[in-house]
Structure 1
Amino acid sequence: MSLEPSLTVLYKEANGSKITTDIYLPTTDSTEKKKYPVVINIHGGAFMLGHSRMVSMPQITDCLERGWIVLVPNHRLCPGVNLLEGPMQDIRDLLSWVHDGHLDAVLRYEGPYSADLGNVAAFGTSSGGTLALGLGFNVPKPVKAILSLYGAVHFTHPFWKTPLPHVQAKLPPNLEDSFLRKAYDEMPVPTDSSVSLEGQSESGASKGPNFSRPRDAFAFTQIASGNVLAAIYPNSKTKDPTFQAVDPVQNVGSEFPPTYIVHGLADTMVPIDLSRELFARLKREGVKCGMTEVPDEEHTFAAMMKVGSRTWWLQREGFDFLEGVIGKGTK
């Protein structure tokens, strides 16, 4: 499905990395400036892969039809930065960028749009779900609601050190460590990669990784060996061994924003029990929350689902939840 952003703007620079966000604007019949809820949509990719065009365009269309301004940001990719200081900080800085009035400054030239700063929400798939949840804690002004689609959470669970043979089977034999470590040498730290964990390429086609590229090989090797967290968050070996600073599960409190979870029952990359633990913590703390378990769906299903399918309607329950919190934009 072809859908182009209304504009792309720079929201941050960090050590030479120019970090942008795509902005999608809903259609309007009004010539009078009005406020629209803002939704931040964060791509997946195990914190190491992907970029802002590698998201579900039907999901964005659904958001636009609800009258929301949609921001789809890039962020720096691990391992050249760690999870806390790279991807998580970048997305938090985007939220500050919005609240500091920079989004409205951009929208001033784009028609009768302004941001409703009292109704900012976030959602994402896989690692993007984790980053969306990261906007609910340790930030000056949390988002009003969050939707996590099969986000990576509960980092103290043994799964995160468990090898995945079905991923290992995709890797070519004898990948040299010196080749894999070239992923650390990319300077400035990249904010996009040519393939995502969801299998999308730059053209949007479904396409697997290219293991002649160090980044693709590095990312899938870490996933296959159960080494993702050590690779993206080396702080866990010394400064933060329990992942307290980055694990949404450990940061759920009574003030956590209303949160919805959508997860596939057949997920072998982030088992559904991890999201169930997050859901249990949310309920225990009295946070407004909900969860939809999608039958027969593996990880990354949002990239491949067909509009109108059973999966489409089930995952849409998460967007209905967001709408119940932030409302619709007026046309």
Structure 2
Amino acid sequence: MSLDNPLTVLYKEVDGSKITTDLYLPSTTSASPQKYPVVIDIHGGAFMLGHSRMVSLPQVNDCLERGWIVLVPNHRLCPGVNLLEGPMQDIRDLLSWVHDGHLDAVLKEQGAYCADLENVAVFGTSSGGTLALGLGWNVPKPAKAILSLYGAVHFTDPLWTKPLPHVAAKLPPNLSKSFLDKIYDQKPVPTDSSVSLEGQTESGVSKGPDFSKPRDAFAFTQIASGTVLSAIYPESASSDPEFKKVDPVQNVSASFPPTYIVHGQADTMVPIELSRELLKRLQDSGVQCGMTEVPNEEHTFAAMMKVGSETWWLQRQGFDFLEGIIGKGPQ
């Protein structure tokens, strides 16, 4: 097992969708089982794109060096399911899968590893940050600590219905509704796509979306037109949209887990003001929290940052925060 070849495990199956998680293990020389903190790492992609191999491997490696077991899950992609019943429920079911002993059953076959179920944390980028925050409420046992890297939050802000001309400029002309709507014909609901907002593809080569594919064209059309929320959560398309069930900002309370935020100051996809509002809610509720604002960085910078750069060290403050809550694994 390596960064390039993790163990892939099925954690959920629903309506024909087989939903897996990749498992990365820290190195060990122990002959007897020891407990390791568990960290869940959730990919981005506007809830419509991406898959588990589209995460920052340097971030995964940083976690492994801290002695953490790392789970990188897939989830069903919108719009074949809505945000609440699809991606959010899948990630919550993964957390239950861990606490119900299924991870330990897998670890028994991998040598001297046990999951420290008192120290399960989560982080994610972009939409993955939102799903990470979703493990802070309405779950039997919330994550011990949460790190959101430029996660989508504060869905009642008018910014969410604002068109993005710089994204629209990338779209080909004359994309028909019938072509875009082919995305609804995908059965079972897929758990992976060949491109993510982070810019990676399955081959690891960085390139843009393929607009000959309905999913890529649909997702970027929604982003460009400011209609992502109505596409992934149709319940919000009414004249009085209700986001309470899915918006982390509206679910912060005094019992919310310790939470850290990392966000680029030059983000044009999820403006930093949205994360600042989340931080304010956390602070007002007395939740242990913090935020690092990364100068000059756009959305999805985690995929492109170089280890050792200023951005690398700044975003690493979020992982130091997690370590302060869940500790290191056996060294």
CA distance in 2, matches of 1:5, 1:128: 22
- C-alpha contact 1:5 1:23 (8 A) present in aligned 2: no
Per-residue CA deviations over 1:234-286 (Å, capped at 9, x if unaligned) read 01135982300000000000000000000000000000000000000000000
What's 1:109 paired with?
Answer: 109
Return the alpha-carbon distance in structure 1 between the equivalents of residues 308 and 238 of structure 2: 48
Contact (CA 8 Å) 2:235, 2:242: kept in 1 or not? no
Asked if the contact 2:129–2:149 (Cα under 8 Å) also holds between the matched residues in 1, the reply is yes
Partner of 2:254: 254
Equivalent residue number for residue 271 of structure 1: 271
Structure 1 distance, partners of 2:240, 2:28, is: 47
CA deviation profile, 1:109-151 (whole Å, cap 9, x unmatched): 0000010000000000000000000000011100000000000
Please state whether the residue corresponding to 1:51 is helix, strand or coil. Answer: coil
Quote the Cα distance in structure 2 between the aligned partners of 1:74 and 1:245.
Answer: 21
Alignment of 1:141-290 (within 5 A): 141-237=141-237, 241-290=241-290
Cross-structure match for 2:139: 139
In the alignment, structure 1 residue 31 sits paired with structure 2 residue 31: yes
Residue of structure 2 in register with 1:19 after alignment: 19
Output the CA distance in 2 between the equivalents of 1:40 and 1:329. Answer: 15
Hey, what does 2:318 align to over in structure 1? Answer: 318
Is residue 121 from structure 1 mapped to residue 121 from structure 2 by the alignment? Answer: yes
Q: Is the 8 A contact 2:151 2:270 kept in 1?
A: yes
Q: How far apart are the structure 2 equivalents of 1:208 and 1:189?
A: 23
Gaps in structure 2 of 5+ consecutive residues: none
Q: Secondary structure at the match of 2:48?
A: coil
- Higher alpha-carbon deviation: 34-43 or 238-247: 238-247
- Distance in 1 (CA, whole Å) between partners of 2:34 and 2:159 is 47
Quick one: distance in 2 between partners of 1:142 and 1:237?
29
Q: Per-residue deviation at 1:6? A: 3.6
Q: TM-score, normalised to structure 2's length?
A: 0.98
Deviates more, 1:10-19 or 1:236-245: 236-245
Q: How far 1:205 moved relative to its partner?
A: 1.5
SS at match of 2:106: helix
Letter in 1 for 2:313: W
Determine if contact 1:132/1:147 at 8 Å carries over to the other structure: yes
SS at structure 2 position matched to 1:109: helix
* Amino acid aligned to 2:85: E
Shift of 1:5: 4.3
Over aligned residues, Cα RMSD in angstroms?
Answer: 1.1
Paired amino acid for 1:216? D
Q: Which residue of 1 aligns with 2:87?
A: 87
Distance in 2 (alpha carbons) for counterparts of 1:149 and 1:266? 14
In 1: Cα distance, 2:143 partner to 2:239 partner: 27
Structure 1 residues 186 and 240: alpha-carbon distance in aligned structure 2, compared to 1, 3 A threshold: farther
CA–CA distance in 1 between the matches of 2:198 and 2:142?
A: 28
Distance 2:224 2:236 in 1: 19
C-alpha separation in 1, matches of 2:3 and 2:122: 20
2:3·2:24 contact (CA, 8 Å) conserved in 1? Answer: no
Structure 2 counterpart of 1:229, one-letter code: L
Is 2:289 the partner of 1:292?
Answer: no
1: CA distance, partners of 2:240 / 2:164? 25
The 2-side partners of 1:3 and 1:119 are apart by 23
Alignment check: 8 A CA contact 1:5 1:22 kept: no
SS of equivalent residue, structure 1 residue 241: coil
Structure 1's 146 and 239: CA in aligned 2 closer, same or farther, altered over 3 A?
farther
Unaligned runs of 5+ in 1: none
Are the equivalent residues in 1 in contact too, given 2:121–2:146 (CA < 8 A)? Answer: yes
Answer yes or no: is the 8 Å Cα contact 2:44–2:125 preserved in 1.
Answer: yes
Inter-partner Cα distance in structure 1 for 2:276 and 2:229: 20
SS in 1 for 2:89: helix
**Gap change, CA 1:65 and 1:240, over 3 Å in 2:** farther
Q: Deviations over 1:47-98 (max 9, x none)?
A: 0000000000000000000000000000000000000000000000000000
Letter in 1 for 2:248: P
The answer to whether the 8 Å contact 1:127/1:152 transfers is: yes
- Aligned match of 2:64: 64
After superposition, give the CA deviation of every residue in 1:270-317 in whole Å (9 maximum; x if it has no partner).
000000000000000000000000000000000000000000000000
Could you say what secondary structure the match of 2:109 adopts? Answer: coil
Q: TM-score, normalised by structure 1?
A: 0.98
